[in-house]
Amino acid sequence: MKLYSHRQAPNPFRVTLFLAEKGIKVNTTYVDFMHGELKADEFKAINPFQRLPVLILDDGTAIAESCAICRYFEEMNPLMPLLGQTAKERALIEMWNRRGDLGLLYQIAQVFRHTNPAMAPLEQPQIKEWGEANRPKVMETLAIFDAQLANNQFVAGDRYSIADITLFVALNFARVIKLQVPEELGNLHRWYAMMTERPAVQAALQVMKEKSKT
């Protein structure tokens, strides 16, 4: 089994954090997408969408998309569930995880990919106006998550889940577009401080900081 990943990119980081919470070690190869490695024929044969992360199973099956990879590991390692235990819990976690995906990660990515000159070779056409149009949408979604956390310890309720992982990844990714959580969103600040104290989060952040390619 091999995981193709990246140390700083948000979706690979989501899998890194998920694995850290599960205590799972996976043979990992870090791919430098900024230098065209995703466009190589060898990688396109693995994932024609040219995106990270990708998990290659022992039988050669390739699983792309970070949440699909997380689901595979959840099914193979059901202890300490991060995707829910009951039908209601799974549905609520899925709902808030999707909201974090579409309402934060996607929109932050649009700002980054369309306003950062370094991303121009990867984002064709790069439309600065579209990138900037997503900034207020991010702020609107942050307020919704803050309201959700007013009466819940974690994003989807009383249990830590992948929805918390996605939100944490999104807030860290927001730093690259110089976006900070407004001070008045106190519930988000409380939750973020609690997240940074988790050993798995500390371990995943350490992986993110490492620069060497392995």
How many C-beta atoms surround the C-beta of residue 36 within 10 A?
Answer: 12
pLDDT single digits (tens) 48-68: 999 999 999 999 999 999 999
pLDDT of 36 reads 77
Letter for the amino acid at 127?
I
pLDDT of 211 reads 58
DSSP state letter for 103: I
For domain 2-81+203-209, which architecture applies? 3-Layer(aba) Sandwich (3.40)
pLDDT of 158 reads 93
Q: Delimit the domains of the chain by residue range.
A: 2-81+203-209, 87-198
What stretches in the chain show pLDDT beneath 50? Answer: 212-214
- Report CA 162 to chain centroid distance, whole Å: 9
pLDDT of 122 reads 82
Burial (0-12, 13-18, 19+ Cβ within 10 Å), 86: exposed
pLDDT of 39 reads 84
Kindly report the pTM of this predicted structure.
0.94
pLDDT of 123 reads 86
87-198: which CATH topology? Answer: Glutathione S-transferase Yfyf (Class Pi); Chain A, domain 2 (1.20.1050)
How many C-beta atoms surround the C-beta of residue 58 within 10 A?
Answer: 7
